């Protein structure tokens, strides 16, 4: 019985990570920092272009909102999504905006974003 409960717990945490990923991807596609902030850890590392800092949720939201306002989102495509273990997931993708293309990398720990990066796409 304990083994069955452990398996159910493991599988539910595995599927919850994918639910969060879908919501995060949707928020990026829509350029909605207000939806994205729901998945931020209390402090997270944010890199936008050449600026990288450890920020609070509010500071991170403001920086990402400013980027989204300046770079109107056309499309976001996930290129890679990996679950490292039951509590860590990595997502990367290509962000197409009115002003160019960017690479986005996201590190989720316990279904919360602990690192969010937007970098120039140097194809």
Q: Each residue's pLDDT tens digit in the chain (123 positions)?
A: 555 444 444 444 444 444 678 999 999 999 999 999 999 999 999 999 999 999 999 999 999 999 999 999 999 999 999 988 888 999 999 999 999 999 999 999 999 999 999 999 875
Check if the beta carbon of residue 48 is closer than 8 Å to that of residue 70: no
The token pair that represents 54 in the structure block: 């450890």
For residue 32, CA distances in Å to 55, 59, 76, 94 come to: 18, 15, 13, 17
Q: Which residues are 46's β-sheet partners?
A: 53, 116
The token pair that represents 60 in the structure block: 């991170």
pLDDT of residue 17: 42
pLDDT of residue 60: 97
Q: How many CB atoms lie within 10 A of CB 3?
A: 7
| pTM recorded for the entire structure | 0.82
pLDDT of residue 2: 57
pLDDT of residue 69: 95
All structural domains of the chain: 2-120 (3.10.450.50)
What are the respective helix, strand and coil percentages of the chain, to the nearest 5?
A: 40, 45, 15
């Amino acid at each position: 019985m304990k083994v069955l409960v452990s398996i159910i717990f493991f599988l539910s945490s595995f599927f919850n990570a994918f639910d969060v990923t879908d919501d995060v991807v949707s928020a990026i596609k829509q350029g909605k920092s207000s939806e994205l902030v729901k998945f931020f850890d209390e402090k997270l590392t944010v890199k936008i272009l050449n600026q990288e800092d450890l920020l609070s949720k509010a500071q991170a939201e403001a920086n990402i909102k400013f980027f989204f306002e300046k770079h109107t989102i056309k499309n976001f495509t996930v290129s890679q999504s990996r679950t490292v273990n039951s509590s860590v997931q990595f997502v990367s993708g290509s962000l197409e905006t009115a002003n160019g293309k960017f690479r986005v990398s996201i590190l989720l720990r316990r279904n919360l974003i602990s690192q969010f990066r937007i970098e120039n796409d140097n194809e």
